[in-house]
Structure 1
Amino acid sequence: MCQQEVRRVERKGSAFSTDPPSPTSVTKSSKERIVSWGELSLHNTVEDSWIAIKGRVYDVTNFAKFHPGGDILFTASGLDATDVFAGFHNLTDAWKLLPPLLVGTLEDANNPPLPNVDPQYVQDIVEMRKQISALKLYDSSKLYYAYKIASNVALCSLSVAIVMYSGSWPAIAIAAFIMALFWQQCGWLAHDFLHHQVFNRRYINNLFGLLIGNIFQGFSVGWWKTKHNHHHAVPNVTDAPSGGDPDIATTPILFWSEKLIEGELEDLPLWMLRNQAVLYVPILCFARISWLVQSIQHNIPKPNPNITSKVMYYSEIATLFVHHSLFFALVVKVGMMYSVPKALSYMMMSHAWGGILLGVVFAVGHNAMDVLTLEEMREVDFIRLQVRTTRNVDPNWFTDWLCGGLNYQVEHHIFPSVPRHHLWKLARILRAFCDKHNISYTSKTLADGNKDVCQILQDVSKAA
């Protein structure tokens, strides 16, 4: 499920700061329906979808067309969605949408039929959320984000200044790399705003998302949200009622697990599969161009008006047009000042580095971690799913900056509304929780993480 498009009543604290009472304190009507875990699990398809949130069961089958995240809510069909709801709905008003969908009360809600999940484990999650709220880790520093915007603009200005000052090949190459850094850093910054980490009001975050994501970086806000929120719900999961993780749906270009190889091998481009570890970096050189194209394609069909307003739709088109117009004008200017080959080189190198700089960070976050089928996903709780499929990058001043806070990928996946400048504090809390419950927590250097990524590509190639 995703961040709801409803008014935020209270930013401080967790999604459960003023939520309905726990199932143990609810006074049940004598006629209120009791739903067993077994019955809940039967309603696990797009055509028949029930989910449980904090001890209450809801029928969301017909709600997807009104849900701001669309059919992403079907990823939790037949499951307890309490933790994923809390992660994606840091809005107390989201609860107001649920009563009309109520089916009944979940029987023995604090004791789900999952390995290593008992009432104490559930209570520890509640206590962890209370601790995060008490420490005010959901509160953002506006000064910090003002600095991040200014420093990003400085990168763009530096790239333009260099290429305007000198037309030498080294200057062209350096300017292109800095422009790629600008795009990469804008990606992380737009990510923060679009997870609604910064401001209390959704529309302000979206406005900054349009500025930083669409105009500065060139990636569609709507395209990114649809893809990224789905990834958050089912990380490294091959399939789900509304589709698996789009971030590993890179076949037939890249295969991240043997579980993704379907059908007869002769139907696949075997030369690519067998050489994918070698082709990985060259493929990343074209990744940014692919994402630019996907951003445009996403906005060609008219959106569902229940999910995307006309204002947002036309704002997307206008801001993407501004991005491409500005960069095209810059490339033309370089060509007029120096030569067409130098202009094209600046354009191609900046796009190539743009793909590499994004890829080496987000690939480390999940690739070469466990890949699960839908059946395997249903056997783990939300926190174990996120920790099992996610890798952190060991923190230092450089990785904190280069990765845009996503070196704390585990913490971000479980608490996506916590601003990046608080993630180091959150990491201490989550690690203590994982240690207590014997949950394996992975963190490696950026270099070692990328080695693992290349190794898994090679291993899958050999297995095929």
Structure 2
Amino acid sequence: MALQPEHEVKEAKKNPESGAGSSPRRFTWEEIGLRTGRGHPQQERWLVIDRKVYDISQFYRRHPGGAQVISHFAGQDATEAFVAFHVNHALVRKYMSSLLIGELAPDEISMKPSKNILLVEDFRDLRATVERMGLLNPNGLFFFLNFLQILLLEAASWITLWYFGTSLVPFLISAVLLTTSLSQAGYLQHDLGHFSVFSKPKWNHVVQKFVIGQLLGLPASWWNLRHAQHHAKTNCFLKDPDLNMHPWFTLGKVLSVELGMKKKFMPYNHQHKYYFVTLPPFLFPVYFQYFPLHKTIQRRDWADLAWMLSFYIRFFLTYEPLLGVKSLLGFYLLIRVLESIWLVWVTQMNHIPMNIDYDKNLDWFSTQLQATCNVDQSLFNDWFTGHLNFHIEHHLFPTMPRHNYWKVAPLVKSLCAKHSIEYHCKPLLTGFADIVHSLKDSGELWLDAYLHK
């Protein structure tokens, strides 16, 4: 089908219901695929939700979830992502009406040819089943006990120093207790950021600012904007910010070969060795100390900045009388290093060993299954990883409360079996080891391309 003339497209944007018989304007995938914000003369951005075509060219900068995450779907079908991310679909659609410019032409399939339509339909049926089973409804008692655990661990950390003194053994025990509290608080703020603790998004927003700001010293807005992109385009270069490890690391087959062919030099063939003494111990005490603060000030997000400062003020007032300034600085550095080691290993085991590539515009189910893996269930694994051992289920249903992952997992496995898709699940230590193996493989691919191509 030929492209519509430019003047007809502009008219469609002004009046999506215009045309013969007041029928909506019709667009082809070819036309929509050109509106990605890159290369088109007007730098337009269009996307499709349930066969409706929306022009987000002016709106994307005001998108509450961030400009990048919605822009990542420009020129594509965003239906599955829209359903996955938004809690109140009817309310959001109401505000989207002003962006509507038409719909797909009748002879256009609902999704691009690269997508498995039968799989998409089956996943939508699974989503409907999940909603009927009430698996998107949070259990208040579960999250209350989780929050209580965090407070008790921090209290135990302070009491240990107060009662037993600040010699080496109580100092280390107190650091481990506080690190555990911080790590569990990290998991809880993650739940809140996904709207999975309270049924109303507003309460998730409010409590998340307290948990991540007061208990962790990080800004909620920065984390939400970054994490939403990770979920939207998991393991996609240029779209998933969690892959921004260049130039220190090269990830996956594609980028490793590209860097080698371009003669980009770093000792990547040794990255599986220097990983141990770089990313895990230093991500939180170095990168997370500077970059979130810089971004918060840059955006002039004074509310988040106030919450961050409240953490440091409370930490100083609580522990300085017991430790003194010099020991307090050492104590703070130790807990941040331990927290970083804990959370980096847990969060990277689910993605680094999996497929990493540029955005291929696959369906939601295929995208997440290729880029995500699970770790075996156990009481310890559930607690230690904040239920991120069920990472496949978490990525398929990001607003689902984590206490329900185990219930939907058998349904996801069945859908994988039906469509011959591998469901990756492994022991915890194997998950950690696969990070190192993956880095080693990527480094060898880089070296081979660097030397021979």
Unpaired segments of 5 or more residues in structure 2? Answer: 1-19, 448-453
Distance 1:321 1:134, change over 3 A: same
Mapped partners of 2:51, 2:426: distance in 1: 37
Deviations 1:336-379 (A, max 9, x none): 3xx94x444422221110101111110012111000113xx22x
CA contact (8 A) 1:392 1:410 kept: yes
Residue identity in the other structure for 1:227: R
Q: Tell me what 1:144 maps to.
A: 142
2:345 to 347, 360, 366: 360
In 2, Cα distance between equivalents of 1:177 and 1:255: 32
Q: Name the amino acid aligned to 1:453.
A: I
Of residues 310, 317, 331, the one that matches 1:329 is: 317
Measured after TM superposition, the shift of residue 103 of structure 1 is 2.1
- Secondary structure at the aligned position of 1:203 is classed as helix
1:86 aligns with 2:83: yes
Report % sequence identity.
26
TM-score (norm 2): 0.86
Out of 298, 302, 309, the position equivalent to 2:299 is 302
The corresponding residue for 1:33 is: 25
Q: Please name the residue that 1:155 is paired with.
A: 153
**SS of residue matched to 2:440:** helix
Partner of 1:245: 240
2: CA distance between counterparts of 1:122 and 1:258?
27
* CA RMSD after TM alignment: 2.2
Aligned mates of 1:334, 1:255 — CA distance in 2: 44
Contact 2:243 2:251 in 1 (8 A): yes
Alpha-carbon distance between aligned partners in 2 of 1:109 and 1:180, rounded to the nearest angstrom? 54
2:74 corresponding residue in structure 1: 77
Match of 1:310 in 2: none
Matched with 2:216 is 217
**What SS does structure 1 have at the residue aligned with 2:37?**
coil
How far 1:41 sits from its partner (Å)?
Answer: 1.8
Q: 1:282 corresponds to which residue?
A: 277
Quote the residue 2:376 is aligned against: 394
Give the Å deviation of 1:439.
Answer: 1.6
Q: Work out which of the two has the higher radius of gyration on C-alpha atoms and give 1 or 2.
A: 2
Relative to structure 1, is the Cα distance of residues 170 and 29 closer, same or farther in structure 2, using a 3 angstrom cutoff?
A: farther
How far is 1:111 from its partner?
4.7
CA distance in 1 between partners of 2:94 and 2:399 (Å): 20
Contact 2:48 2:79 in 1 (8 A): yes
TM-score using structure 1 length: 0.84
* Partner residue in 2 for 1:351: 336
Q: Name the amino acid aligned to 1:144.
A: F
1:264 offset after TM fit, Å? 7.1
Match of 2:308 in 1: 320
Residue pair 2:151, 2:181 contacting (<8 A) in 1 also: yes
Judge conservation of contact 2:120–2:365 (CA < 8 Å) in 1: no
Question: Structure 1 residues 189 and 448 mapped into 2: Cα distance closer, same or farther (>3 Å)?
Answer: same
- The Cα shift of 1:228 comes to 0.3
1:140 Cα deviation after fit: 0.6
Deviations 1:50-93 (A, max 9, x none): 11111111111111122112322011111111000001111120
Aligned-pair CA distance for 1:29: 5.3
Equivalent residue in structure 2 for 1:63, among 59, 62, 69: 59
**Partner residue, 1:201:** 200
Cα 1:441–1:220, aligned 2, differ >3 Å: closer, same or farther? same
Given that residues 331 and 344 in structure 1 are in contact (C-alpha distance below 8 angstroms), is that contact kept between their aligned partners in structure 2? no
What letter matches 1:190 in structure 2?
A: Q
| Matched-pair contact (CA < 8 Å) for 1:110–1:122 | no
What residue number does 1:292 align with? 289
The answer to whether the 8 A contact 2:354-2:372 is kept is: yes
| Deviations, residues 183-235 of structure 1 (Å, cap 9, x unaligned) | 11111100111111122332211121111111101121011001100111111
Equivalent residue in structure 1 for 2:132, among 114, 134, 138: 134
- AA aligned to 1:55 is R
Q: Structure 1 residues 230 and 113, CA, compared in 2 at 3 Å: closer, same or farther?
A: closer
- Letter of the aligned partner of 1:34 in structure 2? R
Distance 1:174 1:109, change over 3 A: farther
Aligned match of 1:373 in 358, 381, 388?
358
- Contact 2:115 2:363 (8 Å CA) reproduced: no
Contact in 1 for aligned 2:374/2:391 (Cα 8 Å) = yes
Tell me how far apart the structure 2 counterparts of residues 260 and 170 of structure 1 sit (CA, whole Å): 46
Equivalent residue for 1:228? 227
Name the CA shift for 1:113/1:149 in 2 (closer, same or farther; >3 Å). Answer: same
**Alpha-carbon shift at residue 437 of structure 1 (Å):** 1.5
Give distance in 2, aligned partners of 1:410 and 1:219. Answer: 26
Partners of 2:74 and 2:93 in 1: CA distance? 18
Ranges in structure 1 where 5+ consecutive residues have no aligned partner: 1-27, 304-312
What's the secondary structure of 2:245's corresponding residue?
A: coil
Change (3 A) 1:276 1:85: same
For the structure 1 residues 103 and 265, does the alpha-carbon distance in structure 2 shift closer, same or farther, using more than 3 Å as the test?
same
Instruction: Provide Cα deviations, 1:277-336, integer angstroms capped at 9, x if missing partner.
Output: 122232211111221322211211235xxxxxxxxx332111100111222334533433
Determine helix, strand or coil for the equivalent of 1:253: coil
Q: Is the 8 A contact 1:331 1:346 kept in 2?
A: no
Letter in 1 for 2:241: P
- 1:349 maps to a residue whose letter is L
1:411-442 per-position Cα deviation (integer Å, ceiling 9, x unaligned): 11121111011111121222211211122211
| Pair 229,436 (structure 1): closer, same or farther in 2 beyond 3 Å | same
Q: 1:261-272 to 2 correspondence within 5 Å?
A: 261=256, 270-271=266-267
Contact 1:56 1:106 in 2 (8 A): yes
Partner of 2:3: none
What secondary structure sits across from 1:416 in the alignment?
A: coil
Paired position in structure 2 for 1:183: 182
Aligned amino acid, residue 70 of structure 1: G
Q: Distance in 2 between matches of 1:447 and 1:78?
A: 40
What secondary structure does 1:286 align onto? helix
Q: Is the 8 A contact 2:269 2:443 kept in 1?
A: yes
Which stretch of the first structure deviates more once superposed, 46-55 or 324-333? Answer: 324-333
**Kept after mapping to 1: 8 A contact 2:51/2:110:** no
Conservation of the 8 A alpha-carbon contact between 2:120 and 2:363: no
1:58 is paired with a residue whose SS is strand
